[in-house]
Structure 1
Amino acid sequence: MHATKSYFLADMSVMFGRSMRHVFRSLDTIMTVCLSPMAIMLLFVYVFGGAIQIDTTVPYINYLIPGIMLMTIANGIGYVSYRLFLDQQRGIFERFHTMPIARSAPLLVSNTLSVGVIIVVALVMGFRPAAGIVGWLAVGGILGMFTLALTWIAVIAGLSAKSLDSAGAFAFAIHLLPFVSSAFVPTASMPRPVRFFADYQPVTPIVESIRALLLGQSLGNTGWVALAWCVGIMLVAYGFAMRVYKRK
């Protein structure tokens, strides 16, 4: 058991390094993962922020940053399926099958760097969180669960795609979810049908949980709802992803 864990951790380290080398060698990937959410944040704070009416005493950047964090992670997910499709076409996966590595090792990639960049830029723009160490750890846990859930969805798309364009096409639907949630404005301001969808889709409780943690507020039941969404999506997507992966 100990040897198996050691191999898994070593494999993950190697595969993470491989993924990060791909990222830094691709300027368009860096632009998509880091600069695109940054541009959206600048646009909403400095252009639309004055016109958006938020019933809160905190600056709009404090209200906005949780949704931008999720959008940053979602932007990186399309790259996961893109890389998986290329690895499959080039025969990389067949090599992994012949090597003594953990089967799940080539399927994970981290979005920590891009989220960190967004937080630094937000701090420069006036973001002032009230969260302590425990609050930030909880935020990191939620973002990690969200990342894993989306990663397994990306695995399904990357391994099932028939073309390079279709490999990342699923990410467009994920990009739209934050816009129809409480990420930018309270759902109470939306028309009733839109509000119903916004209230009961996964992004809203995740955004509100992160927002409450960053502002030092009570989570209530929202944290459990967010956790249930993340775990549920991750388990279902993992099951389908492993089924697809074992057929390759």
Structure 2
Amino acid sequence: MSRAERLLDLMQKLRLYHYPVSGAVLASELGVSLRTLYRDIASLQAQGAQIEGEAGLGFVLRPGFTLPPLMFTIEEIEALALGAKWVADRADSSLGAAANHALSKIAAVLPAELRLELDSTALLIGPSLHPGVADETLRLIRAAIRQEIKLDLRYLDAKEQASSRVIWPCALAFFDQIRVVVAWCESRQAFRHFRVDRIQSVVCLDVCYPKRRQALLKAWREAEGIPARNR
């Protein structure tokens, strides 16, 4: 591995951690000595990377710094192409278009040989089996999640019983056959999961719910027994 590749790899490792990580851990993951790691961190700092911390305390990368040129491995290119195709096929039209636009921006700055790999990838997405859902419904739900706004639903459950719910949406899960909103339900005073194809109508209340989305997601994971991700 060249030094340039090692520096890019170090930047990527640091991006994965949202809290200070020790030099020993980074050196182990990169397969280099501590001395080499400290030298590489100093080099990145000299180029403008906001890496805070010091030996013995740990290091954390502040956002806002990238190293040109944009470089990806062949497998990273395949992952990006496959992910964009999945989103374009499974999400609403505006999110699908955004995935394609993002891929086009990446392609525009790739070296010619990597652009060819992106354009000619042999990884394909199978036919979608999920029930049809109106684009506007998914767009409204996604917007409410981003803005932390309450939604008023008219919902049909598995027994075809209709009910009205005011929810605090905090996540939207895309499965192969269904889409599910994770939300706090005011009437049930508990987290509930709502299949999007069973939502008969949805109205944005333009009222922010009283908790941050991250706090709701943390509470939902704890309620469901889902292990916390690295932070």
Q: TM class, shorter-chain normalised?
A: under 0.3
- Say which structure is richer in strand: 2
When normalised by structure 2's length, the TM-score is: 0.22
- Say which structure is richer in helix: 1
Higher relative contact order (CA 8 A, sep 6+): 1
Structure (1 or 2) with the larger CA radius of gyration: 2
